[in-house]
Structure 1
Amino acid sequence: MRKDNKTCFMLKRTFLFIAAALVITSCGKKDISTCPDKVCTEEFATITVSFIDKDGKPATLSSFSAVNKRTGDTLGHQKQYDLYPENVYPVADDGDLDKLSSEGDIINIKAVDSVTKKVKNASLVISGGACACHIKKLSGPDTIQFD
């Protein structure tokens, strides 16, 4: 009889171990099947906007911001202006992919001309999302002119 009790105990212990392992491995599992299969390129997409003065010459800004209206997140790598030509500013890039919806978000741009101190506001619609390969501009200007 003692052997049967030991066997029963071992079966119960094995069953509890398997049940616990199933519970632990099922928690926190991310379902990656929600994204369709796709082939993405290795390029790094960036959406920029350029600013010109009333005469059509490059404008220099004293401040610039690009904010997702839906989330309030500031987009783009605002500190890396020196990587772009004088009057070109990054609005968003693939580093912002998860901050954007697949349907597209309104990105509010605010810029201040360093010479005239005039403020210019504009909006772009940019899509992204967890399943997207790259961000994409759906609408909005490429160039913004100060009056």
Structure 2
Amino acid sequence: MKKYLLFLLLVVVYSACSKKVHQNAPCNPGMCTMMFATIGMHFVDKAGKDAVVKDFSAINLRTNKKIETQPIPGSNAGFHVIATDSNMKEFTNEGNDVKVTATDSATNQTKSVVVKLAGGCACHISKVSGPDTLAFD
């Protein structure tokens, strides 16, 4: 009878420590800095000069939702914000592909590129992979 009770107790303790319980635990990334991270993309024309773009969009391909951001005051015409720390919870810890699309105002050429951004429980949003610059022809 004691062995049966001990076995039952072990089953209860093990199920309380299962991965499902830990997956619902709140994020605890540890010590974080007070900086505010921003991930952006620089758009240039074929001569390498800043390109004024229209119809800029950044779509999280995991959720198929547009990432909403605000422009940075005083930034140059060729730079657009893809995501900031305000968008961090929209991304997983491992990272998600984001399709960035823009049209060159001068030539009406539209180009897209995919970058991978990570967030989730991290202290700040980060770029895992992808280019920093998109050049129009």
**SS of the residue aligned with 1:116?**
coil
Aligned residue for 2:20?
A: none
Q: Determine whether 1:140 maps to 2:130.
A: yes
**SS of the residue aligned with 1:80?**
coil
TM-score (norm: length of structure 2)? 0.77
Aligned residue for 1:25?
A: none
Q: Which runs of 5+ in 2 are unaligned?
A: 1-23
Aligned residue for 1:11?
A: none
What pairs up with 1:1-147 in 2 under 5 angstroms? 31-32=25-26, 35-36=27-28, 38-77=30-69, 79-80=70-71, 82-129=73-120, 131-147=121-137
The Cα RMSD (Å) is 1.6
Q: Tell me which moved more, 137-146 or 81-90.
A: 81-90
Q: Which runs of 5+ in 1 are unaligned?
A: 1-29
Q: How many residues align?
A: 114
Amino acid at match of 1:119: T
Question: Do 1:107 and 1:124's aligned partners in 2 also have CA atoms closer than 8 Å?
Answer: yes
1:26-79 Cα distance to aligned partner (Å, 9 max, x none):
xxxx733xx3451001111000100000111110002200010000121241x4
1:73-129 Cα distance to aligned partner (Å, 9 max, x none):
21241x425442111000110011110011100000110000100001001000000
**SS of the residue aligned with 2:71?**
helix
Distance 2:94 2:54 in 1: 32
**SS of the residue aligned with 2:51?**
coil
Amino acid at match of 2:126: K
Distance 2:29 2:52 in 1: 43
Structure with greater helix share of residues: 1
Q: Which has more radius of gyration?
A: 1
